Amino acid sequence: MEWSIDFINSIENKHMLNTTTHNIDGKEIKEYLGVVNGDTISELHFMSSLEEAIREGFGGSQYQQLFSEARNIAFERMNQKAMEMGANGVVGIDLDCGILGNSEIMMISVNGTAVKF
């Protein structure tokens, strides 16, 4: 188990710490800096009909890849805002996603509280 703790600590020094929980065991939040968010909108242009989506499977690799890329962009935007506020972590993260209307446009939004540990 020690190696995983060291690995996590080395990652923390290079990246923003993100969690869906409101605290982290062993970490004391020294300052709450405010709410941060990151949003992204992507077009689902490669599936032009419901029939194609069913043939591909709703969990098809194209959808998974698009969702993963859009989610990463939203997290990067949220973390950038947190870093600009002087944060080294974001707690209480919530991720929302959906399709806008009857379109082929997917929206992903992540929100959390920027903190200093």
Q: Is residue 100 part of a domain?
A: yes
pLDDT of residue 16: 85
CB neighbourhood size of 13 (10 A): 7
**Domain CATH for 43:** 3.30.110.70
Domains contained in the chain, number: 1
Residue numbers of the chain with a pLDDT score lower than 70: 1-14, 45-61
pLDDT of residue 54: 58
Q: Is residue 96 part of a domain?
A: yes
pTM: 0.73
Distance between CA atoms of residues 106 and 35, nearest Å: 23
Q: Is residue 63 part of a domain?
A: yes
pLDDT of residue 98: 87
Q: Contact, 17 vs 90, CB < 8 A?
A: yes
Question: Which region holds residue 92: left if phi is over 0, alpha if psi is between -120 and 50, else beta?
Answer: left
Closest CA to 72 of 23, 15, 116, 13: 15
Q: Contact, 104 vs 47, CB < 8 A?
A: yes
Distance between CA atoms of residues 81 and 10, nearest Å: 22
Q: Is residue 55 part of a domain?
A: yes
Range of the structural domain that residue 55 is part of:
16-116
Closest CA to 110 of 61, 38, 42, 62: 38
Q: Is residue 5 part of a domain?
A: no
Q: Is residue 53 part of a domain?
A: yes
pLDDT of residue 2: 36
Q: Is residue 83 part of a domain?
A: yes
Q: Is residue 3 part of a domain?
A: no
